[in-house]
Amino acid sequence: MGGLHTFDDLKLLSLLQNGNASAFDVLYNRYWDRVLSLAYRKTGDLMEAENIVQDVFVSLWKRRESLKINGDFANYLFISIKYRVLKVLAKRASSRSVDLEQVSGLLGDSPQEYLEFEEIRERLEMIVSKLPEKSRLVYQLKNEDKSYKEIAAALNLSEKAVDAHLLRARRKLRIELGSFLGGFLL
């Protein structure tokens, strides 16, 4: 397994599709901390965050043979985490007189919901790929849980410029995905 650590995500995914558990372990260890941090920031509950991350990786392993990731694996993983977080937050919303069964039905694990999620993910990847280069890079680095200071240093920008690029990217995503996600979430 030692040599697998040097492989890029694409090669590891190829090995994973062929049932290579060591490739899965490398991906798991490579991304665990970052996606756990994201889930924890969004939920505010470490145990819930760990459950979310574990569920995503279990799902990845179970679907390994049929897995088709066209874009960047890190983006796929972060979007998967955000989707699971959305499900958790929707369940929490039940205390605000939201019908839990209705929300769970919208965000369940059926093939239809998975296809809808895949459509959102594909649209998001397409929109991100069309962003101006700096905005795209800032957005991708922020999704990797980098701080403004780290992004600014990596891209030789001021933190204010990082904030402006991130704001532009998020505004573009909100506009492009707005009506689609609005219908999905309501």
Residues 144 and 91 in one domain: no
Q: Of 92, 29, 81, 79, whose CA–CA distance to 52 is shortest?
A: 81
Q: What is the pLDDT of residue 74?
A: 86
pLDDT for residue 141: 82
Does residue 28 sit in the same domain as residue 100?
A: yes
Say yes or no: 80 and 153 in one domain: no
What pLDDT, on the 0 to 100 scale, is given for residue 103? Answer: 41
User: From residue 118, how far is each of 61, 71, 82, 125 by CA, in Å?
Assistant: 17, 12, 13, 10
- The rounded distance, in Å, linking the Cα atoms of 2 and 85 is 33
Write the Ramachandran bin of 21: left for phi over 0, alpha for psi from -120 to 50, otherwise beta: alpha
Give the total number of structural domains in the chain.
2
What pTM, to 2 d.p., does this model score? Answer: 0.52
149 and 115 share a domain?
no
| Pair 119, 136 in one domain | no
What is the pLDDT tens value at each position of the chain, 186 positions in all? Answer: 457 888 888 888 889 888 889 999 999 999 999 999 988 888 888 888 899 999 999 988 988 888 888 778 888 888 888 888 887 776 665 444 344 443 444 444 545 555 566 667 677 777 888 888 888 888 888 877 788 898 888 889 898 998 888 888 878 877 776 655 544 443
Residue 129: CA count within 13 A, CB half-sphere: 10
Same domain, 105 and 163: no
Q: Which domain holds residue 143?
A: 132-186
Q: What is the pLDDT of residue 184?
A: 47
On whether the CB atoms of residues 16 and 24 are closer than 8 A, the answer is yes
Are residues 117 and 165 both part of a single domain?
A: no
The residue from 109, 129, 149 where one domain ends is 129
Q: Please report how the helices 21-43 and 9-17 are oriented relative to each other, as an axis angle in degrees rounded to 10.
A: 120
